[in-house]
């Protein structure tokens, strides 16, 4: 560090390479080592305070760099999305990772990237305490700088504010944004007023720079307009559930938020009384710019940021469906048991069809399609008849739990309420699994016995029966791995259901169906309206069940074609296959085989549930910018509940707790 500062003192020293070397000296060995980074910056501060020549040389290098480069693009482009849209930005980032763009030393943005060349620099820069930056700023003694360079930087900041204003106005009038916030068309838009107010502000500021006086116009009115723009942004997010969301709208919302936040920072820096020692805006901007430069080619960041709002809407739709999978009272609990039993009855017949299709030995592609359609149509029938498959519940209820964590986090009351919700979810899940399995087993047994009575032969031969029993063994087979694959599909089907629910709103599919002339003539206006309402409420459920069935059906064939051990195991079908195998073998099952098979069915069910629930809860938490640790206080509360009230995990109370009476308005 001392050698770099000495080199800066030499005449005609090039500022950019020496500044890059200085930052390399400040960089800790481990990017996450905040303590070492703090020590390095404090060491630099000590040298600057001790050696006036070092201080003057570093200040001169920084001023020369600022005065000799165009700064606007750094303030307007770094850390903000461009107007190219999500998919072009996705392709561009991949291209820049493979072939980095050429650098232009005349632009501060490109030089800035050379200074903070390590991709992890943002970690230590962003984690340094403000007092460390403030001490460094004081050590540079900026009161001695050339005023012309400071004015040049202010002019560049003003130009950046004008560029950001133009972009904010353009985004605010995008048709996608107007679609979800129609008030923009009916009332005076703050986006339109922002341009005129920025023009007045910049003209006043330039005149002040010429006269070396405080500007007549301050930034307060601009900040009010930015507040109004953010209000529209909040309404856009809120209205997304009503009007539907798309990747394009998410991109516009994110881009608008980024530009508004950046403009606020620049206005703060332009404030005539701004003092970096007391205000952390300058250091926050530096950390933000460093992170943007380090992550500018990150495809992961682009995907995560741009899918946040649509992921939230998808999980919100799933969460609303999840409320239907939570039994509050014993009557609802009994209703869930009946619905699960109905699904178990249908699954018994679906298992029969699956076995018969396997005996047909169709060509592989046709066999995969036949298996998939059997599952898909069966699951869709379960949905149409208002039955329930137990393993479909976690993907829905996880979103509901995440919503409660987000809305009511903090305090003992939050833990108690969430614990009660988890108990309700678990006992509903328990009775659903019980209903599925307890009816799938006797249904499959009755079908197998009836088939043997009528045809004189079992549905499957002994070799196939032995194969089915082997596949249920959790130790001797890949049953649990295959159950985990089914759990992933259960999770994906929940997301697909939420996506299609959103699509129905976004594309206004129910209204378009209701307006079809030929359908109105064919079935009548009232039936068409009822059909459109059914589509509005059930499109997601039908689509999720359809794709879930296809996933289950094609996995085994895909695994065979790829030479990979891919297959699926589902608790309800596994229990039905146990009945078919038992009848074929005339109930002559060794006790060890029977016990392993029963254990396999139970473990397959647990794996189905745990995988699908974990993935769904993770996505639901991430969509709300929450982390898994925020649900940790729940764990000891649930464990305590297990020991104190174990029966509550199986049976609900006889009557629901009465809701609090609403307060009467004295008026």
pLDDT digits (tens, 9 = 90+) for 497-529: 878 888 888 888 999 999 999 999 999 999 999
**More confidently predicted of 146 and 306:** 306
Q: Using only C-alpha atoms, what is the Rg of the chain?
A: 32
Q: How far is CA 337 from CA 208, 320, 345, 562, 564, in A?
A: 76, 20, 12, 40, 38
Sign of CA dihedral 209, 214, 219, 221: negative
Q: Which pairs from 236-239 meet CB under 8 Å and 24+ separation?
A: 236/177, 236/180, 236/181, 237/309, 239/180, 239/181
CA dihedral 252, 256, 262, 266 (to 10 degrees): 140
What mean pLDDT comes out for the span 274-300? 85
pLDDT tens, position by position, 137-166: 888 877 645 566 778 888 999 999 999 999
pLDDT value at 199 more than 60: yes
**More confidently predicted of 375 and 137:** 375
Contacts of 394 (CB under 8 A, 6+ apart): 429, 490, 491, 609, 612, 613, 616
Q: Which of 180, 193, 166 is nearest to 256 (CA)?
A: 166
**More confidently predicted of 485 and 98:** 485
Show the tokens assigned to 154.
């202010």
How high does pLDDT run on average in the chain?
A: 85
What share of the chain in percent tops pLDDT 90? 45
Residue where the block lists tokens 């002339």: 517
Tell me what pLDDT residue 555 has: 96
Neighbour-count burial for 508-531, b at 16+ CB within 10 Å, e otherwise: ebbeebbeeeebeeeeeeeebeeb
Confidence band of 342 (pLDDT split at 50, 70, 90): very high
Confidence band of 410 (pLDDT split at 50, 70, 90): low
Tell me what pLDDT residue 667 has: 30
Tell me what pLDDT residue 396 has: 62
What gap in Å lies between CA 369 and CA 367, rounded to an integer? 5
Tell me what pLDDT residue 483 has: 95
Contacts of 651 (CB under 8 A, 6+ apart): 330, 333, 427
Confidence band of 177 (pLDDT split at 50, 70, 90): confident
**How long a stretch of residues is the chain?**
667
pTM > 0.85: yes or no:
no
What mean pLDDT comes out for the span 574-578? 95
Q: Say if residue 100 is exposed, middle or buried (CB neighbours under 10 Å; 0-12, 13-18, 19+).
A: exposed
Tell me what pLDDT residue 252 has: 86
What mean pLDDT comes out for the span 29-58? 89
What share of the chain in percent tops pLDDT 70? 88
Among 88-92, 275-279, 583-587, the minimum mean pLDDT is found in: 275-279
What gap in Å lies between CA 483 and CA 571, rounded to an integer? 8
What mean pLDDT comes out for the span 300-306? 71
Give, as one character, the DSSP assignment of residue 15. H
Confidence band of 46 (pLDDT split at 50, 70, 90): very high
What mean pLDDT comes out for the span 310-327? 59
Please, where are the H alpha helices in 361-478?
364-384, 393-408, 412-455, 462-472
Among 311-315, 365-369, 387-391, 644-648, the minimum mean pLDDT is found in: 311-315
Tell me what pLDDT residue 556 has: 94
What mean pLDDT comes out for the span 437-456? 95
What gap in Å lies between CA 419 and CA 430, rounded to an integer? 16
Residue where the block lists tokens 């920025």: 198
Tell me what pLDDT residue 657 has: 47
Give, as one character, the DSSP assignment of residue 140. T
Angle 220-222-224 (CA atoms, 0-180°, nearest 5)? 70
CATH code: domain 313-649 is 1.20.1080.10
pLDDT value at 192 more than 90: no
Q: Which of 564, 582, 597, 576 is nearest to 475 (CA)?
A: 597
Show the tokens assigned to 490.
């259960």
Confidence band of 661 (pLDDT split at 50, 70, 90): very low
pLDDT value at 345 more than 80: yes
DSSP string, 284-300: HHHHHHHHHHHTTT-HH
pLDDT value at 408 more than 60: no
What gap in Å lies between CA 106 and CA 109, rounded to an integer? 9
Give, as one character, the DSSP assignment of residue 107. B
Q: Which of 540, 345, 551 is nearest to 443 (CA)?
A: 345
What mean pLDDT comes out for the span 222-246? 85
Show the tokens assigned to 7.
């080199």
Among 69-83, 164-178, 201-215, 371-385, the minimum mean pLDDT is found in: 201-215
Phi, psi of 217 (to 5 degrees): -100, 125
Residue where the block lists tokens 């701004």: 274
pLDDT value at 413 more than 70: no
pLDDT tens, position by position, 536-557: 888 988 998 999 999 999 999 9
What gap in Å lies between CA 470 and CA 568, rounded to an integer? 14
Confidence band of 660 (pLDDT split at 50, 70, 90): very low
Sign of CA dihedral 568, 570, 575, 580: negative
Within its chain, how far is the Cα of 561 from the centroid?
33
Tell me what pLDDT residue 665 has: 38
Please tell me whether residue 665 adopts helix, strand or coil conformation. Answer: coil
Please, where are the H alpha helices in 507-590?
509-514, 517-523, 525-562, 571-584
Neighbour-count burial for 197-227, b at 16+ CB within 10 Å, e otherwise: bbeebbeebeebbeeeeebebbbeebeebbe
Tell me what pLDDT residue 447 has: 97
pLDDT value at 450 more than 90: yes
DSSP string, 451-514: HHHHHSS-SS-HHHHHHHHHHH-TTTSSHHHHHHHHHHHHHHHHHHHHHHHHHHHHTTHHHHHH
141: left (phi over 0), alpha (psi -120 to 50) or beta: left
**More confidently predicted of 421 and 463:** 463
What gap in Å lies between CA 579 and CA 586, rounded to an integer? 11
Among 249-258, 515-524, 586-595, the minimum mean pLDDT is found in: 249-258
pLDDT tens, position by position, 258-271: 999 999 999 999 98
First to last CA, the chain: 74
pLDDT value at 411 more than 60: no
Residue extent(s) of CATH 1.20.1080.10 domains in the chain = 313-649
The CB density around residue 473, as the number of other CB atoms within 10 Å, is 16
Show the tokens assigned to 194.
């922002």
pLDDT tens, position by position, 615-631: 877 777 776 666 666 66
- Return the H-helix or E-strand segment holding 236: helix 220-243
């Amino acid at each position: 560090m001392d050698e770099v500062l000495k080199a800066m003192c030499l005449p005609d020293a090039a500022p950019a390479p020496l500044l890059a070397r200085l930052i390399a000296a400040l960089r800790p060995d481990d990017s996450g080592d905040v303590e070492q980074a703090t020590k390095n910056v404090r060491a630099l501060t000590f040298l600057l305070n001790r050696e006036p020549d070092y201080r003057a040389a570093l200040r001169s290098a920084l001023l020369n760099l600022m005065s000799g480069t165009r700064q606007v693009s750094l303030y307007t482009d770094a850390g903000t999305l461009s107007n190219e849209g999500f998919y072009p930005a996705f392709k561009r980032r991949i291209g820049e990772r493979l072939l980095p763009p050429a650098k232009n030393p005349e632009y501060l943005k490109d030089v800035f990237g050379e200074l903070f060349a390590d991709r992890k620099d943002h970690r230590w820069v962003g984690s340094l305490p403000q007092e460390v930056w403030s001490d460094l700023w004081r050590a540079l003694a900026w009161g001695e700088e050339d005023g012309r360079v400071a004015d040049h930087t202010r002019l560049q900041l003003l130009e950046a504010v004008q560029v950001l204003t133009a972009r904010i106005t353009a985004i605010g009038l995008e048709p996608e944004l107007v679609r979800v916030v129609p008030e923009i068309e009916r009332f005076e838009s703050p986006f339109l007023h922002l341009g005129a107010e920025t023009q007045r502000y910049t003209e006043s500021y330039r005149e002040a720079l010429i006269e070396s006086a405080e500007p007549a116009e301050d930034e307060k009115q601009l900040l009010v307009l930015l507040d109004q723009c953010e209000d529209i942004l909040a309404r856009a997010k809120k209205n997304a559930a009503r009007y539907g969301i798309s990747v394009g709208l998410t991109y516009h919302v994110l881009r608008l938020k980024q530009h508004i936040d950046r403009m606020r920072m620049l206005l703060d820096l332009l404030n005539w009384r701004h003092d970096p020692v007391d205000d952390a805006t300058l250091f926050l901007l530096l950390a933000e710019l460093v992170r943007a430069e380090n992550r500018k080619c990150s495809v992961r960041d682009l995907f995560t940021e741009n899918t946040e709002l649509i992921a939230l809407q998808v999980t919100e739709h799933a969460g609303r469906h999840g409320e239907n999978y939570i039994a509050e009272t014993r009557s609802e609990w009994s209703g869930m048991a009946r619905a699960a039993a109905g699904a178990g009855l249908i699954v018994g017949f679906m298992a029969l069809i699956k076995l018969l299709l396997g005996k047909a030995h169709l060509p592989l592609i046709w066999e995969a399609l036949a298996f998939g359609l059997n599952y898909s149509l069966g699951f869709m029938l379960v949905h149409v008849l208002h039955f329930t498959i137990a393993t479909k519940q976690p993907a829905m209820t996880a979103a509901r739990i995440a919503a409660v964590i987000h809305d009511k986090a903090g305090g003992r009351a939050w833990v108690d309420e969430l614990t009660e919700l988890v108990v309700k979810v678990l006992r509903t899940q328990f009775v659903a699994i019980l209903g599925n399995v307890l009816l799938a087993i006797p249904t499959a047994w009755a079908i197998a016995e009836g088939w043997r009575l009528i045809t004189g032969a079992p549905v499957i031969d002994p070799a196939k029966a032995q194969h089915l029993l082997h596949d249920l063994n959790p130790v001797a087979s890949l049953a649990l791995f295959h159950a985990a694959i089914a759990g992933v599909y259960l999770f994906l089907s929940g997301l697909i259901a939420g996506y299609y629910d959103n699509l129905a709103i976004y594309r206004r599919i129910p209204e378009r169906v209701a307006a079809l002339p030929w359908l109105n003539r064919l079935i009548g206006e009232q039936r068409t309206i009822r059909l459109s309402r059914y589509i509005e409420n059930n499109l997601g459920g039908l689509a999720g069940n359809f794709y879930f069935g296809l996933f289950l059906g094609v996995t085994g064939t895909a695994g065979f074609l790829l030479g990979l051990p891919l297959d699926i195991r589902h608790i309800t079908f596994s229990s039905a296959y146990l009945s078919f195998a038992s009848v074929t073998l005339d109930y002559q099952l060794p006790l060890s085989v029977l016990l392993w098979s029963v254990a396999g069915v139970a473990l397959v069910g647990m794996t189905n549930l745990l995988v699908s629930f974990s993935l769904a809860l993770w996505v639901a938490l991430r969509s709300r910018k929450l982390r898994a640790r925020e649900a940790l206080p729940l764990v000891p509360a649930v464990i305590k509940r297990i020991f104190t009230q174990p029966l509550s995990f199986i049976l609900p109370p006889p009557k629901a707790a009465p809701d609090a009476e609403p307060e009467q308005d004295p008026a």
